[in-house]
Amino acid sequence: MHKTLTFTLLLTSLTIWAQDHNLDKDYSAVENKVIEWRRDIHQNPELSNREFKTAEKIAKHLKSLGIEVQTGVAKTGVVGLLKGNHPGKVVALRADIDALPVTERNDLPFRSNVKSTFLGKEVGVMHACGHDTHTAILMGVAEVLSKNKDKIKGTVKFIFQPAEEGAPPGEEGGALLMVKEGVLTKPDVDAIFGLHINSQTPINTIKYKPGGSMAAAQRFVINVKGKQTHGSQPWGGVDPILISAKIIDGLQTIISRETELTNEAAVITVGKITSGVRFNIIPESAELIGTIRTLDYDMQKHINKRMEEMVPAIAKAYGGEATIDIKSSTSITFNDLALTPKMVPTFERVAGKENVVVHKAITGAEDFSYFQEKVPGLYFFLGGMTPGNTESFPHHTPDFKIDDSGLLLGVKAMTELTLDYMNM
């Protein structure tokens, strides 16, 4: 009886503060602007740490709203500070602003034709992960909240983050650099919220997961040393391409035979192999670059240990040498276990209870995790697929599309999360 009463009182208290803030007119007024911003940003994408025009567009908009603006944060990031009419908590809202080295090939009238240089090669540039929608949504949230300072009990910090996809080699960037430069201080942030559009979830749907939501990501580089020889006389040398193939095969046994996947998912992927210059020459060396995804830090330690043991051992078995270097890219995206359930009524109010779904952990990664290591955070997914669509393309692909009629729910969710949290 005591437990039942406590639960009832909790639900009642949640209902009291999770009330509609009567912003429908402001939401309606900003919807077309958000879509227009998104399409312009989509048509003019910029790679990580090179988001100069995007940052300029964001800063200009925030300044027009009377928001205090700081530019050049973590190289190209923009931070806006909006103080409400009442004292209270500090809420941070984050959107990532960078695009990917992908050549767009869909039929969108505002598709990107931008070209740039990535790792010394000319590439197409595309918002193939939806960061353009994240940016436009947060610009819309800033506009709505700036018109309702009387409803803000505290301060809102708008964080437009560069280089979520990773800074270029040799450069710092992303959320880690923002944290290092003090983005969560002055004033100190009490909680942070972020979202990610999803091309394979119907619009007007919100997905979330308490605890570990997205994987930790690591990047590894393997250098294989063999002995060059004529392609017609392989016995005269040591083939680093053959050794690379054996290494790749061996790494997969760590996942398939040594990792208890019933506990959490894990992935080892080799995404790039470089070796050789000519069809009839066995080269001297090869380089393999890949990623490791884990949702449990003990599993991560085991996988790293076995990779470091296996790579040089396999190379040695075939007469060569190999080294491996593993570096972390992100931590586990962990939704605060106290904060998350408190905000579920907000999701249910703005999207409808039937459209709020608890999802399983995924092996994608997000450097939003670095913010969550410092302050309580909640990261959720927003549907971006046209209902009934039979052909939805994954993120990071040339055919990726988002139905921008679903963006307004993102504006509502981020705005209402902010105001509800401030009223807790």
> CATH number, domain at 244?
3.30.70.360
Q: What is the DSSP letter of 326?
A: E
Please check whether residues 141 and 20 belong to one and the same domain: yes
Tokens of 315: 């190379």
Known active-site residue 366: no
pLDDT of residue 194: 98
**Quick one: how far is CA 354 from the chain centroid?**
26
The continuous run of DSSP H or E covering 23 comes out as: none
35/27 Cα distance (integer angstroms): 12
* C-alpha R_g of the chain: 24
Please check whether residues 156 and 22 belong to one and the same domain: yes
pLDDT of residue 20: 78
* End position of a domain, from candidates 280, 308, 330: 330
Please check whether residues 167 and 235 belong to one and the same domain: no
SS3 per-residue string spanning 365-413: ECCCHHHHCCCCEEEEEEEEECCCCCCCCCCCCCCCCCCHHHHHHHHHH
370/373 Cα distance (integer angstroms): 5
Please check whether residues 71 and 220 belong to one and the same domain: no
Which residues on adjacent β-strands are paired with residue 115? 124
Q: Are strands 115-118 and 121-124 parallel, antiparallel or unpaired?
A: antiparallel
pLDDT of residue 363: 95
* End position of a domain, from candidates 313, 330, 347: 330
Cβ–Cβ < 8 Å for 123, 103: yes
* End position of a domain, from candidates 286, 310, 330: 330
Cβ–Cβ < 8 Å for 41, 110: no
The residue from 98, 104, 336, 416 that is catalytic is 98
pLDDT of residue 11: 47
Please check whether residues 152 and 27 belong to one and the same domain: yes
**Quick one: how far is CA 22 from the chain centroid?**
31
pLDDT tens per residue across all 424 residues of the chain: 454 444 445 545 455 455 679 999 999 999 999 999 999 999 999 999 999 999 999 999 999 999 999 999 999 999 999 999 999 999 999 999 999 999 999 999 999 999 999 989 999 999 999 999 999 999 999 999 999 999 999 999 999 999 999 999 899 999 999 999 999 999 999 999 999 999 999 999 999 999 999 999 999 999 999 999 999 999 999 999 999 999 999 999 999 999 999 999 999 999 999 999 999 999 999 999 999 999 999 999 999 999 999 999 999 999 999 999 999 989 999 999 999 999 999 999 999 999 999 999 999 999 999 999 999 999 999 999 998 887 889 999 999 999 999 999 999 999 999 999 999 9
The Cα diameter of the chain in Å comes to 82
Count of domains for the chain? 2
Q: Is 240 helix (H, G, I), strand (E, B) or coil?
A: helix
Known active-site residue 164: yes
Q: How long a stretch of residues is the chain?
A: 424
pLDDT of residue 18: 55
Please check whether residues 188 and 256 belong to one and the same domain: no
Cα dist from 234 to 226, 240, 241, 286, 322, whole Å: 11, 11, 12, 16, 19
Which residues on adjacent β-strands are paired with residue 193? 93, 378
Please check whether residues 168 and 138 belong to one and the same domain: yes
338/278 Cα distance (integer angstroms): 59
Please check whether residues 297 and 201 belong to one and the same domain: no
410/376 Cα distance (integer angstroms): 20
Task: Please tell me the number of Cα atoms within 13 Å of 25 on its side-chain side.
Answer: 3
The packing angle between helices 2-17 and 339-351, to 10°, is 60
Q: Is 346 helix (H, G, I), strand (E, B) or coil?
A: helix
pLDDT of residue 2: 52
Contacts of 85 (CB under 8 A, 6+ apart): 149, 150, 152
The packing angle between helices 52-64 and 24-43, to 10°, is 160
Please check whether residues 97 and 168 belong to one and the same domain: yes
210/358 Cα distance (integer angstroms): 8
Please check whether residues 293 and 360 belong to one and the same domain: no
pLDDT of residue 391: 81
Please check whether residues 179 and 97 belong to one and the same domain: yes
Tokens of 126: 């595309």
Please check whether residues 101 and 196 belong to one and the same domain: yes
% of the chain with per-residue pLDDT over 90: 93
pLDDT of residue 389: 82
Q: Which residue has the tokens 């909640």?
A: 378
The residue from 96, 132, 164, 367 that is catalytic is 164
Q: Which amino acid, 286?
A: A
Q: Cβ–Cβ contacts within 10 Å for residue 237, how many? A: 19
The parent domain of residue 317 ranges over 216-330
CATH of the domain at 10: 3.40.630.10
**Quick one: how far is CA 341 from the chain centroid?**
22
The phi, psi pair for 212, rounded to 5°, reads -65, 115
The continuous run of DSSP H or E covering 143 comes out as: helix 131-146
pLDDT of residue 390: 74
pLDDT of residue 130: 98
